[in-house]
Amino acid sequence: MAPENPMDHDETMPKTVGEIGERGLIELMLRHITPMPNMPIPFWDDVMAVSLGDGRAAVMNTDMLVWSTDIPPGMSHFQAARKAVVMNFSDLGAKGVQPQAFLSSLGIPRDVRVDDVEELAKGFEAGAREYGGYVIGGDTNEAPDIIISGVAFGVGEENRLMKRKGTTPGDVLAATGRFGDTAAAFKILLEGVDAPDALREKLLASVYTPNARVREGIALGESGAVTASIDSSDGLAVSLYDLSRSSGVGFKLHTLPISAMAEEFAGIHDMDPGKLALYGGEEYELVFTVKPSEMDMAREALRTVGCDLLELGVATSTRRMVLVEDGVETLIKKGGWEHFTG
């Protein structure tokens, strides 16, 4: 029970989860875990993988939605369940893996209406089929809140998996799309900020009906041009910091990929649209790095699935995150979403 460094910890006042945050908690937990030999993907990536011994890897991910904490106002049961699939499939897509199956472990309070649970089932089905996967089962339990613990499963070629780690200085930083819609939507949903009806509806759709870049990830994986990849579910800034930490690089961005709707919303309210783009979350674009000599291949791979590659900047050897616009350098702070703290 004694912590490795006794100075970390005052026995009279044990630390709580809220005090150390999600990342600190995972670090502490991993101290006690023996890594599996020959893990195709190390800890601290988006997914977990087990070698199948024939060049392939079973790739899995698990993510939990807790109704009272994670489900925004106005989201239906169908949408919440579909989102549970999207968020789990997105992580597989970010590694270049086709999701084949979805499992759900459901916690349900006794007084939940049966037709709401049927809507959850329809949402799982819709999400899985939309991305070419199937719901293969799960488990139901009594719980004090609706808990949707989802699991995605797929199989990938071990040497084609796009990991978080792999960027070297000089690599091009790129994304599959623009950011900021969900940050604007959360301002509407959680802070009561206003927006014209048509804009409001489209922004809210980004939260209620998010889309995963699964086909895009598979195309990028097959191209072999990508050196590292992550999905942006915790926000663009956090994704940059995660890529940075994994490979020991920094990034110099020449542009922030701000969505047109986020620009419009920011304009109405005199907000900084860059902040909406950086510090959102729950949007599932891929953020990745590419060897400069292979940019054409990456661009072409995305084009075959109808997606434009957005070039954001370049990886650097100093672990700083900066935006350089009109010769002015701005530090990109981390911010973004982490469980338990903030």
Segment 117-156, which members bind a second copy (CB under 8 A)? 117-122, 124-125, 129, 134-145, 147, 149, 151, 153, 155
To a second copy, the closest distance from the beta carbon of 155 in angstroms equals: 7
CA dihedral 301, 304, 308, 314 (to 10 degrees): 0
225-258 burial code (b ≥16 CB/10 A, e <16): bbbbbbbbbbbbbbbbbbbbebbebbbbbeebbb
Q: How far apart are CA 216 and CA 222, in angstroms?
A: 10
Q: How far apart are CA 81 and CA 147, in angstroms?
A: 10
The answer for residues whose C-beta is within 8 angstroms of residue 82's C-beta and 6 or more apart is 123, 124, 126, 127, 130, 209
Segment near a second copy (CB under 8 A); pick from 110-118, 167-175, 262-270, 296-304: 110-118
Interacting residue with a second copy among 6, 113, 192, 306 (CB under 8 A): 113
To a second copy, the closest distance from the beta carbon of 339 in angstroms equals: 5
The CA-atom distances, in angstroms, between 271 and each of 23, 195, 198, 274 are 30, 13, 19, 9
Q: How many residues form the binding site for a second copy (CB under 8 A)? A: 84
Residue 25 lies near a second copy (rule: CB under 8 A): yes
To a second copy, the closest distance from the beta carbon of 173 in angstroms equals: 26
To a second copy, the closest distance from the beta carbon of 296 in angstroms equals: 33
To a second copy, the closest distance from the beta carbon of 266 in angstroms equals: 29
Positions in 177-216 near a second copy (CB under 8 A): none
Strand, helix or coil for residue 209? coil
Residue 19 lies near a second copy (rule: CB under 8 A): yes
Runs of H (alpha helix) within 136-225 = 181-191, 197-208, 214-223
Interacting residue with a second copy among 71, 80, 86, 108 (CB under 8 A): 108
Positions in 87-106 near a second copy (CB under 8 A): 100-101, 103-106
Segment near a second copy (CB under 8 A); pick from 29-37, 262-270, 294-302, 322-330: 29-37
Are 131 and 89 contacting, i.e. CB atoms less than 8 angstroms apart?
Answer: yes
The one-character DSSP state at 234 is T
Per-residue binding letters, 45-84, with a second copy (x by CB under 8 A): ---xxx-x-x-x-x-xxxxxxx-xxx--------------
